[in-house]
């Protein structure tokens, strides 16, 4: 079931890019939580389009209306549903190309899966726009986790060939989380940010797009979350992260680089710091045997370049069964990496909260 | 629930490395399948220990007994359960170190999770040994898929710093599958195999271990499997693959390299070859919008070096709460990559079969 | 997770009786279905309040808005979400009694479960009003089943001490289904209907309420649906039926009366009628070993009297912890049996469709 | 998935009546529990065949072997699997009638479902014998619940036309639980037991069988377990109870009799007894809005007469497609009610434990 997720916190998403509305029904939230609506709105804005030259010019306020599960400014514990109306729609753009499979998009696979009945306008239900409700749910998860001192953060570690240092090399704390959250273009190193932005604008000017790597950190996760085998923390996180459109890879801790180490290098040696158990390195990204060991959870996500580009591309007409060419005109992000940052944080927060609630309600 | 997996095919695994037995209960198999027991045994042998200087000397026949769901040499459609007895057990090795957390292992996290009651001998339920039943189930899945011309294959793409070409660069067919399956050390390039083996033996001689990359290919997957969002093919595969002990990363198609491409390079352009839809490149690894597009599914998996090494390592005594040192003596694989090959194939086959059965029973 | 249901067809419900809106997100519907909106509206009307002296005078149009999953008048195959606005709300009635546990209601258990944060107005999320979206989803299920000649029907078999014959004694066909659906008070026997209505009005005049028995029939179910043990047809149906507020019992076929039979009477003897397998009796209600045998599925459901009555009742003040008295004023149904008829049919249709899709997509 | 059950405690059952073995894999048990093996064996014996003139003469020791998840006499928290070997098998009895559908049995529906590949001997996987592993799991659940003062009990409330008083009319306490558990034929009233036994023996002498009603009580359930709608306590219990072969009905509290009450009679009025909330009556069987209210959970289950009877019955030959006659010879229980008692208690305990663990780990 593509639209349902979770064990204790259950999400059920709905909507299409150019339909009347998108939204989410969230079941299993603890009752009595006074939502920090300003915090949630800020998270939504971090993802919203139209705010920047680095992003699409489609402007969407992404105003949400809570239609259930919220009473006297607190969660009731029963399903909390929000609806976000679609306002700035140019559907006619899509009528002309409805039979042309845009390369890199789900037009072809969606048509197959739904026997041609899917809403093809703007990708329909496959649109990255459907991640807005996930950011909403994730913002609530972040708020709940924060009360337990568990913080979620991330930075753009790379765009194209330009990359910066990893979270593995620095001490993660509350200040970094706050600093990164307030950056329009969240990197650790400002000069790198400048170079990455330059690269994005260059791609834009060439009617092209670029991809990148986002690194996510979970600070102060409780030790003991997760399980061996099918409910390993890596299994749960990766299942969720690959739900986000555009993700093509995930690696934990040292990730693919661990394959080049010896066991004597890759093993994270334990030590007691007072009564706390720590490891000298964090090549396993805070997870051993599928279970958190208390060190920060660190993972990196590969985001592909925006599929929509105005350049001429070869493709097919699915109706006439001919090989044709296409230029995907319209309002596109030259990269989805920037807007994906809050989405990945939200997705991560939801997984961690779900794992936490399995152990401690 | 750590031990349960699947939607149409349901697996339920059990056992500990040094307990009486390990096994699996498989529910949802189609009725009437005459199992190719020779094929299954061969798959089990590919994973079995003790067969090679590259592996541990613990010898286990891994003989399975089918105790339900199999009647007149065919599956009944009701749960098929197998039990594999543990025979070659040296439990005393573990008694002495039961309070010492072996670096890279789940000793510490397992103790936390299970409040100290987990079976610590040989990693207990966390042991890679529990993948034997998964290989059994996967062998059945492969047999069923083969009848539909869907083939699963894999090769060792890298050990340490030595790596060979990707499946992305070659035409995958039945011959390659057969050839790789029959290799003791499955690579495309024999010279690379020699170099990799050398590296493994060198690590072994240094009482150390190495990791590597395994690349998996699914040939002729049906187009249209999977769903957008939470049941994307990437989500389903990664959830399962990260269940395998030692996995720290997964990437589909071009994977992390896609982040260095432009959209004009990464987009896989479509074309008709006769009435078949193909793509000129396969940077998306056969998956678009979470759904198979009919091109081979290609992904790479990062396996960490074997955690058990005889070298002295710093760690903790969880009982006395002291910092101590450990040498993990015993019979260890200098790399888990070789034995992980059939496990990853099995895991992949199970996911593909589960996806297939959701669409076509 | 209280609000999520289903395996192939997934429902996610939301809303409170006196909140902004109620609704449902339906995932897994086949794509390409042109909804029969008139049929759906008729089903909604069968459940709607305010249409009759036998029901509450709260008038709700129950107008639904489809906000996703429906494109060019057909289902897309992606989640179909509807929202029904709450319009006729008298919330002030509930402010005064918010700490008084109405007997028979979930006020006390809801307060416990949600630590006092649940929306207490009109029962909040516990309200029978939340069944309106289930009727919507069920109407779609009925439409799909009808195309396969599978029909769902029901009648009021009893109110208080007055009862009529069972479906077990008559031949169920399309005519009966149509006839019952068009009755304001669906019974087989019109004279019995008159007596039952009289009883309801008498209770109403006495500021009291009555319960009753609804019998449901599934005509022409495919043989072979369901499974032994945890997915028996009885398990799946009962799980769903007990989700409906006010249900206190369910029995299949001869039900509790079968306990008074001998095996030689209760066993349904098989015979061939042409190439069709039938049974001479249907004491098992069309289900053997958890699997449909092709005979009509017949079951009866016990509905309790409406809990809201204006008579003085003893109860507690949950705030002051005192024993108090209450008169539940407001607009109440003297019986919920009549309005429950389309709800039970909807619930049944959803289960049968879900079982069907597990076997044949 | 017919063989998998549960949310926090997961069961996976396997086996056939005449195969090598039956068993169960239990995931999610709390770690560190020292199993009371004597208690478990006693529960198994309560269900075991061959112990009494009221039951089949097939003698099975039902000796279980724990093959995983149990270490140093305590649960590890990882999957606990048991295997019970089938020993006393007369398979040849079934060879002759393999194409004849025994009335009341799943021979016909099983053949349909599994396309003729199911193990037909003794009902195969449909056999009541598969409830032995459920009794094992339930005995563990009862042990865990007992430590929280939650007790599960039951009595045979009726056999054929003879019935005794309900739990609703008496005060349930620890003594009754113990007394009933130690009775070979558990009723409240000894004279009634004598009459019921007489009826069973009479049916036996007539080569016939009888059914009956079992009433189950959960004493001191925590208040606040369960949820509205799809996870109501009634939904969860009924789903499980209808998994038990032979069950055709379930009713909670006053059950079907509540339909004959007025609201002023059926509503359970609340009162404070000290600081405890109680109700004057328990017509709702301890459940309101799907959630426990702290009063005993009371429900009754209708068990049909044993389907296997030696009398001549009309039926079909599924191979030749002819109408034929059958006498089901062999060793049968004249009633399944007596042996179902510990099965229903086990099933109930598992549901209550699962609900409890959802709330309090």
pLDDT tens profile B192-201: 999 999 999 9
Lowest mean pLDDT among A210-219, B9-18, B58-67: B58-67
Which residues 61-90 of chain A have a CB within 8 Å of chain D? 78
Residue of D29, D31, D227, D359 best to disrupt the A interface, most CBs of A under 10 A: D227
Q: Is B153 helix (H, G, I), strand (E, B) or coil?
A: strand
Is pTM beyond 0.90? Reply is: yes
Average pLDDT over residues B83-112: 89
Give the model's pLDDT for residue D93: 72
CA distances for B223 relative to A211, B349, C31, angstroms: 26, 16, 17
Give the model's pLDDT for residue C1: 57
Residue of A12, A86, A111, A361 best to disrupt the C interface, most CBs of C under 10 A: A12
Closest residue to D10, CB basis, from B1, B28, B72: B1
**For residue C87, pLDDT beyond 90:** no
Task: Quickly state the pLDDT bin for C93 (edges 50, 70, 90).
Answer: confident
CA B353 centroid distance within chain: 16
Average pLDDT over residues C220-242: 97
C360: chain B residues, CB-CB within 8 Å: 361
* Furthest CA-CA distance within chain C: 71
The nearest alpha carbon in chain C to A68 belongs to C15
* DSSP H helices in chain C: 37-47, 92-95, 107-113, 131-146, 174-181, 190-205, 233-241, 263-266, 337-360
Task: Quickly state the pLDDT bin for C208 (edges 50, 70, 90).
Answer: very high
Residue of B160, B263, B264 best to disrupt the A interface, most CBs of A under 10 A: B263
**Integer Cα distance of A10 and A69 in angstroms:** 14
Give the model's pLDDT for residue A289: 97
Contact B135, B154 (CB under 8 A): no
D228: chain A residues, CB-CB within 8 Å: 78
Task: Quickly state the pLDDT bin for C50 (edges 50, 70, 90).
Answer: low
CATH of the domain at B18: 3.60.150.10
Lowest mean pLDDT among A20-24, B85-89, D66-70, D158-162: B85-89
Task: Quickly state the pLDDT bin for A239 (edges 50, 70, 90).
Answer: very high
Pairing of strands B21-27, B80-85: antiparallel
* DSSP H helices in C31-106: 37-47, 92-95
**Integer Cα distance of A355 and C326 in angstroms:** 43
Q: Tell me whether residues B113 and D27 touch, CB distance under 8 A.
A: no
C75: chain A residues, CB-CB within 8 Å: 117
A78: chain D residues, CB-CB within 8 Å: 228
Give the model's pLDDT for residue C54: 73
Closest residue to C76, CB basis, from A22, A69, A125: A125
pLDDT mean across residues, chain D: 94
Question: What contacts A277, CB < 8 A, 6 or more positions away?
Answer: A223, A270, A271, A293, A294, B108, B316
Tell me the sheet residues that pair with C25: C12, C81
In order, the DSSP letters of D54-117 are: TS-S------EEE-SSEETTEE-SS-EEEEEE--S--THHHHTTTTB--TTSSHHHHHHHTTT-
Contact B303, B212 (CB under 8 A): yes
**Integer Cα distance of D271 and D267 in angstroms:** 13
**For residue A36, pLDDT beyond 90:** yes
The nearest alpha carbon in chain D to A360 belongs to D361
Q: Min CA distance, A228 vs chain D (Å)?
A: 9
Average pLDDT over residues C220-235: 97
Which residue pairs, CB below 8 angstroms and at least 24 apart, start in C56-65? C56/C331, C56/C332, C56/C333, C57/C331, C58/C88, C58/C90, C58/C331, C59/C88, C60/C86, C60/C87, C60/C88, C60/C129, C61/C87, C62/C132, C64/C23, C64/C40, C64/C133, C64/C136, C65/A20
Task: Quickly state the pLDDT bin for D353 (edges 50, 70, 90).
Answer: very high
ipTM of the complex model: 0.97
Average pLDDT over residues B18-25: 96
Q: What angle do CA D73, D75, D81 make, to 5 degrees?
A: 105
Q: What share of chain D is helix, strand, coil (3-state, %, to 5)?
A: 35, 25, 40
D361: chain A residues, CB-CB within 8 Å: 359-361
CA distances for B11 relative to A230, B46, B65, C60, D312, angstroms: 10, 21, 17, 48, 42
**Integer Cα distance of D189 and D178 in angstroms:** 15
Tell me the sheet residues that pair with C298: C217
**Integer Cα distance of B289 and A107 in angstroms:** 8
Task: Quickly state the pLDDT bin for A332 (edges 50, 70, 90).
Answer: confident
Give the model's pLDDT for residue B92: 73
Question: What contacts D116, CB < 8 A, 6 or more positions away?
Answer: B31, B32
**For residue A361, pLDDT beyond 60:** no
Contact D153, D345 (CB under 8 A): yes
Average pLDDT over residues A212-221: 98
For D136-157, how does the pLDDT look when each residue is reduced to its tens digit (9 = 90+)?
A: 999 999 999 999 999 999 999 9
Task: Quickly state the pLDDT bin for C58 (edges 50, 70, 90).
Answer: low
> How many other C-beta atoms are found inside a 10 Å radius of the C-beta of residue B324?
18
Q: Tell me whether residues C103 and D238 touch, CB distance under 8 A.
A: no
Lowest mean pLDDT among A187-201, B247-261, D78-92: D78-92
Q: Does B16 touch chain D (CB under 8 A)?
A: yes
**Integer Cα distance of D249 and A226 in angstroms:** 39
**Integer Cα distance of A232 and A218 in angstroms:** 16
What is the dihedral sign for C-alpha A64, A69, A74, A77? negative
Give the model's pLDDT for residue C21: 97
CA distances for A319 relative to A97, A116, A323, angstroms: 11, 10, 11
Q: Does A119 touch chain C (CB under 8 A)?
A: yes
- Domain housing D202: 4-359
**For residue D88, pLDDT beyond 80:** no
Q: Is A232 helix (H, G, I), strand (E, B) or coil?
A: coil
Average pLDDT over residues C294-309: 97
Question: What contacts A286, CB < 8 A, 6 or more positions away?
Answer: A218, A221, A252, A253, A292, A293, A294, A295, A296, A297, A298
**Integer Cα distance of D56 and B95 in angstroms:** 48
The nearest alpha carbon in chain C to B30 belongs to C359
Give the model's pLDDT for residue D113: 96
Q: Which helix (H) or strand (E) holds D235?
A: helix D233-241
DSSP secondary-structure letter at D178? H
For B290-308, how does the pLDDT look when each residue is reduced to its tens digit (9 = 90+)?
A: 999 999 999 999 999 999 9
For B176-192, how does the pLDDT look when each residue is reduced to its tens digit (9 = 90+)?
A: 999 999 999 999 999 99
**For residue D346, pLDDT beyond 70:** yes
**For residue A59, pLDDT beyond 80:** no
Count of domains forming chain C? 1
**For residue A44, pLDDT beyond 80:** yes
For C138-162, how does the pLDDT look when each residue is reduced to its tens digit (9 = 90+)?
A: 999 999 999 999 999 999 999 999 9
Q: Does A98 touch chain C (CB under 8 A)?
A: no
């Amino acid at each position: 079931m593509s639209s349902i997720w979770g064990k204790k916190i259950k999400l059920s998403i709905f909507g299409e890019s150019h339909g009347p509305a998108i939204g989410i029904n969230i079941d299993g939230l603890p009752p009595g939580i006074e939502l920090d609506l300003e915090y949630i709105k800020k998270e939504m804005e971090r993802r919203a389009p139209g705010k920047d030259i680095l992003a699409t010019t489609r402007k969407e306020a992404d105003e949400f209306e809570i239609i259930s599960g919220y009473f006297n400014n607190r969660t009731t514990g029963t399903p909390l549903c929000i609806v976000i109306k679609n306002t700035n729609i140019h559907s006619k753009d899509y009528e002309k190309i409805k039979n042309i499979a845009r390369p890199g998009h789900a037009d072809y696979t969606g048509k197959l899966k739904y026997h041609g009945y899917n809403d093809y306008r703007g990708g329909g239900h496959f649109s990255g726009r459907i991640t807005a409700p996930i950011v909403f749910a994730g913002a609530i998860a972040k708020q709940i986790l924060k009360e337990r001192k568990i913080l979620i953060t991330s930075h753009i570690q790379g765009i194209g060939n330009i990359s910066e240092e990893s979270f593995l090399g620095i001490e993660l704390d509350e200040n970094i989380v706050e600093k990164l959250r307030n950056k329009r273009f969240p990197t650790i190193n400002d000069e790198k940010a400048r170079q990455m932005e330059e690269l994005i604008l260059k791609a834009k000017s060439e009617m092209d797009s670029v991809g990148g790597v986002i690194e996510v950190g979970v600070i102060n996760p409780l030790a003991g979350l997760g399980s061996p085998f099918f409910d390993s923390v890596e299994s749960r996180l990766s299942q969720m992260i690959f739900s986000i459109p555009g993700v093509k890879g995930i690696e934990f801790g040292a990730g693919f680089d661990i394959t080049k180490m010896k066991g004597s290098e890759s093993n994270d040696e334990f030590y007691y710091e007072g009564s706390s158990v720590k490891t000298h390195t964090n090549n396993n990204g805070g997870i051993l045997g599928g279970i958190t060991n208390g060190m920060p959870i660190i993972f990196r996500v590969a985001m592909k370049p925006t599929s929509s580009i105005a350049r001429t591309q070869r493709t097919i007409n699915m109706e006439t069964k001919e090989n044709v060419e296409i230029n995907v005109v319209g309002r596109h992000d030259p990269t989805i990496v920037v807007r994906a940052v809050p989405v990945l944080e939200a997705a991560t927060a939801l997984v961690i909260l779900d794992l936490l609630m399995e152990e401690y309600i």
